[in-house]
Amino acid sequence: MFASIPTPSRSEFNIAGMTIHFYALCIVGGIALAIWLGDKRFRRAGGGVNVVADVALVSVPAGIIGGRLYHLATSPDAYFGTGGKPLDAIKIWQGGLGIWGAIALGTLGAWWQFRRLARRGRVGTTTFGNFADALAPGVLLAQALGRFGNWFNGELFGKPTNLPWGLQIPLSLRPVGFENFSLFHPTFLYEALWCTFVALLLMRLEGGFLAGQGFLFYIAAYCLGRFFIESLRIDSAHHVAGLRINEWVSLIVGALAALAFGRIKRTSNIPDHP
């Protein structure tokens, strides 16, 4: 039986005068895990040595930039609104990486670098679909680990709850209107568990997938879970027709990924004509 989940009292520590943020460690650890597992899986599928690492030189910075730009675009008031602090826009160690921007720009960067390596005749560059499929489970596990950074920062939690695994939020971190509640849904944990489950399910099912379907399965399945998890959150967000922006993004991106997944299957069944 859980006695509730405490929010860590510290989100950083110092070594030799340098401040280390746990949020940053979670992000860096997730990136390292994704590269290690992705490289292992890609080489097992016939890919070349260090191809994943070389692609990561472009895709990782692109993903971080994309994640930050998405966060700034959807939460501009804290930085550029009345009383906002524009310089805080570059302080990514304090949190604020939108997963949709990270996936979009990170994938674009990976595609560009992969094609660049292939044009240069790099040994072991198969197809980008196979490459993306190899990376998908590791990216999911990276997202799971990255969510613990939100736990250390005491951010992005859900509605008040009386469940035994409720997250204890200090009074100073509670949103306006929720000062009298102490336990909240640990949405960071829900998403970490969902990402881990999808990664394991993907590795179990991928034997029956065609090239590119593994990555699309990841996107569609993640969006499904994220839609419901997003509906629990109470942090400030813009709404359209009663739904948070990220709920709409989950619905739209998830539906497009599911359609593309099915299209790959349908086109593969079209017989070639002489």
Tens digit of each residue's pLDDT (9 = 90 or more) over 250-270: 999 999 999 999 999 888 665
- Tell whether the model's pLDDT for residue 274 goes beyond 50: no
Average pLDDT over residues 24-51: 95
pLDDT at residue 270, as a whole number:
54
Instruction: Tell me which residue has tokens 């005068």.
Output: 17
Dihedral class, residue 53 (left if φ above 0, else alpha if ψ from -120 to 50, else beta): alpha
The answer to whether position 227 is within a domain reads: no
The answer to whether position 62 is within a domain reads: yes
pLDDT at residue 86, as a whole number:
77
The answer to whether position 251 is within a domain reads: no
Q: Give percent above pLDDT 90 in the chain.
A: 75
pLDDT at residue 125, as a whole number:
83
- Tell whether the model's pLDDT for residue 89 goes beyond 80: no
Q: Give percent above pLDDT 70 in the chain.
A: 94
The answer to whether position 258 is within a domain reads: no
The answer to whether position 47 is within a domain reads: yes
Residue 94 domain boundaries: 12-193
Average pLDDT over residues 76-105: 78
Reported in sequence order, the residue ranges of 31-130 that DSSP labels E, i.e. its strands, are none
The answer to whether position 233 is within a domain reads: no
The answer to whether position 183 is within a domain reads: yes
**Integer Cα distance of 178 and 171 in angstroms:** 9
- Tell whether the model's pLDDT for residue 272 goes beyond 60: no
pLDDT at residue 78, as a whole number:
72
Paired strand residues for 238: none
Average pLDDT over the chain, rounded to whole?
Answer: 91
pLDDT at residue 126, as a whole number:
82
Distances from the Cα of 272 to the Cα of 86, 114, 260, angstroms: 57, 29, 21
- What's the number of domains the chain is made of? 1
Average pLDDT over residues 26-41: 96
pLDDT tier, 16 (very low <50, low <70, confident <90, very high otherwise): confident
Average pLDDT over residues 136-149: 97
Distances from the Cα of 111 to the Cα of 36, 63, 73, 101, angstroms: 19, 12, 24, 15
The answer to whether position 104 is within a domain reads: yes
pLDDT at residue 185, as a whole number:
97
- Residue 148: which of 1, 4, 7, 3 has the closest Cα? 7
Average pLDDT over residues 181-197: 97
